[in-house]
Structure 1
Amino acid sequence: MKKNIAILRGGNSSEIAISIKSADLVYKNIDTEFYVPFIVHIEGLDWFVWHNESKIELDKNDFSFQLNNKKIKFEGVFMAIHGTPGEDGILQGYFDLLNIPYNCSGAFESALTFNKAMCNALLKQFNIPSAKAVLLNKNETYDLLKIEKEIGFPCFVKPNRAGSSFGISKVYKNTEFKQALSKAFIHDSQVMVESFVEGTEVSCGIIQKAETLVAFPLTEITTENDFFDYEAKYNGKSDEITPARVSDLDKDLVQTLSKKIYKLLNLKGMVRMDFILENQQAYLIEVNTIPGLSEESIIPQQSKSYGMSLKELFSLTLMNMFKND
């Protein structure tokens, strides 16, 4: 019997447009021989199923809805909400209470990885290098001279708990810092100030396949902009080259570190990890437990390079979900 799958989109962050694109790609490529997909939109308190160009309200008590006078319940959830409440563990906790399996990492692991500063600080204890960073909270005072001495310029100023490069600025001098901080605080009440590491940016996708942890071919990211910002990611201002033009030594280093992080943090589902390569050292940028799945996104490119169709990729993540349940 086919299983009803809720493909979640929306969210309460700036990433909602990317989420809608991701959910659409999943819906188009899910294997309908085994699954009945439904698009479920969650935005604030507005939860509904988008079915035949119309909204059907969801019952939040048991995550069900009525269709043709019949109650429809879901056997599983495919999470495509980037940002809160899909990437930070909130919805995972809700589904844990309802005992509905989902295709991504658990509530605690999602909350941890969504907090870039805390995640990177923890991983440094396990010899996973990342750039020097300080965390600033909204409405608290800060010592710019101390930050300049500790982090230096240029540096990146970015929301601690946000994605898709929203609110990020590359700051070259202290007179630019205040404006960059204000821009980042629009997206989060915590801002990460991170030292600039010059090198090659690469991304590595990870997924479990049977008993093997598979690392996809790396993607090398180049951009005509100053860095890989939102415009570069989604408006054609970058080149994403898969497989990356890096040495076998660097490729093995990034893939090995990515697998190590996946295991250390007890992650599940499709995960993407971003690094900067410099002098045969890989510096972690961030861990993405709900990576983008739009046509422009990196994971679909890597899956294709690996030789796995999108239908196979999504079938694998759903199979893993039910296996782990």
Structure 2
Amino acid sequence: MRTRVAVVGGGENGEHDVSLASAASVVAALDPASYDVVPLTIGRDGMWRDHGLRPIGLSGAAQVLRGCDVVFPVVHGPRGEDGALAALCELAGLPYVGSGIRPGALAMDKWATKLVARAVGIAVAPGLLVTAASAAHLRWSRPVVVKPVSAGSSLGVSRVDVPEALGPALDAAFALDERVLVEEVVAGREVDVAVLRRADGSLFVPPALEIVADGIFDYGAKYGGGADFRVPAALDDTDAKALQEAATGAFEALGCAGVARVDFFLTDAGPVLNEVNTMPGLTEHSQVPRMFAAAGMGYGDLLDELVRSAHR
């Protein structure tokens, strides 16, 4: 008997198109011999739509979801990855793929993530939490990175190297969030680590991936083909072990499930946590599937493991 899986894509945020691509890839890759796949889309306006993109609203979506065995939410960013869809599934009593409400909300909040990381001994970049009120008193003294606290795909992120660029960078970040992080620039290699909690509860960490980009790895670099992804990353045993321990430490401290991508700067002093993504890009060519492919786990096998590990 096939497992009926609802794959939810889109979303009411700036990562809508990226989520659509991830969801479409998941839908295409789930083996029809094992799965009866039911695609659902959340529009930019928040309207739920069925496979034919007909508007059915939340009540119509709820009826569809009730007829499924597992929900696979592939919505990156706010009102999706931040625990919102996990909460919907929890309230409806539906098994779902990925992290629960609390880890989704914590990991989406970069400030909260770093508070948790520091508490368990994981290094983070020195920085300040800034609001609209406190921004007026902020003075530039050294190169910084300005970013919204809760946005994905590097939207609204700017590097500021001169004082006159600070104001526009803050404006761009505040356009996406009421809270902004201003962090010191960290000199190091950009290395991502994927962590998967298998259906049996064990953790699996594939080889890490290094991002080689010219400047900040922003939205354009991520999706415009301008970045060079190197997997496996060229790491010595000491750095590889430190990255794996930091990644699994963050994953466990936040309470993540399913798969997460933990992003680091690898410095001379060791790994410095940048952020944690509890629903990372999930096309076959995204960073996380590339890492698992390097470990010998194909894309379809990764999706199978995620469905099997769904919350019950």
Bucket of the pairwise TM-score, normalised by the shorter protein? over 0.9
Structure 1 residues 62 and 37: CA distance shift in structure 2, 3 A: closer
Aligned to 2:209: 219
Aligned to 1:85: 79
**Does residue 263 of structure 1 match 2:252?**
yes
Equivalent of 2:276 in 265, 283, 287: 287
Structure 1 residues 72 and 257: CA distance shift in structure 2, 3 A: closer
Aligned to 1:49: 50
The alignment partner of 2:77 has SS state of: coil
RMSD: 1.8
Q: CA deviation at 1:56?
A: 5.8
Structure 2: which amino acid aligns with 1:245?
A
Give yes or no for contact 1:136–1:142 (8 Å, CA) kept in 2.
no
Equivalent of 1:181 in 164, 170, 173: 170
Q: Distance in 2 between matches of 1:253 and 1:298?
A: 20
Aligned to 2:40: 40
Aligned to 2:100: 106
Give yes or no for contact 2:66–2:94 (8 Å, CA) kept in 1.
no
Q: CA deviation at 1:138?
A: 3.2
The alignment partner of 2:297 has SS state of: coil
Deviations 1:54-77 (A, max 9, x none): 526255277124xxxxx9712111
Identity among equivalent positions (%) equals 30
The alignment partner of 2:309 has SS state of: helix
Equivalent of 1:312 in 290, 301, 305: 301
Q: CA deviation at 1:144?
A: 2.2
Q: CA deviation at 1:175?
A: 1.1
Deviations 1:78-132 (A, max 9, x none): 1110112111111211111100111111111111110001110122011111001
The alignment partner of 1:13 has SS state of: coil
Structure 1 residues 265 and 173: CA distance shift in structure 2, 3 A: same
What is the TM-score normalised by the length of structure 2?
A: 0.94
Give the ranges of 4+ consecutive aligned residues of structure 1 lying more than 4 Å apart after TM superposition. none
Q: Distance in 2 between matches of 1:56 and 1:182?
A: 35
Q: Distance in 2 between matches of 1:45 and 1:112?
A: 23
Structure 1 residues 163 and 141: CA distance shift in structure 2, 3 A: closer
The number of aligned residues is 310
Equivalent of 2:67 in 52, 58, 73: 73
Q: CA deviation at 1:280?
A: 4.0
Q: Distance in 1 between matches of 2:76 and 2:58?
A: 22
The alignment partner of 1:258 has SS state of: helix
Give yes or no for contact 1:117–1:133 (8 Å, CA) kept in 2.
no
Equivalent of 2:126 in 118, 127, 132: 132
Q: Distance in 2 between matches of 1:164 and 1:314?
A: 22
Give yes or no for contact 2:116–2:253 (8 Å, CA) kept in 1.
no
Give yes or no for contact 2:116–2:254 (8 Å, CA) kept in 1.
no
Q: Distance in 2 between matches of 1:246 and 1:311?
A: 27
Q: CA deviation at 1:45?
A: 3.8
More strand by share: 1
Aligned to 1:236: 225
Structure 1: which amino acid aligns with 2:56?
E
Q: CA deviation at 1:211?
A: 4.5
Give yes or no for contact 1:64–1:74 (8 Å, CA) kept in 2.
no
Aligned to 1:68: none
What is the TM-score normalised by the length of structure 1?
A: 0.91
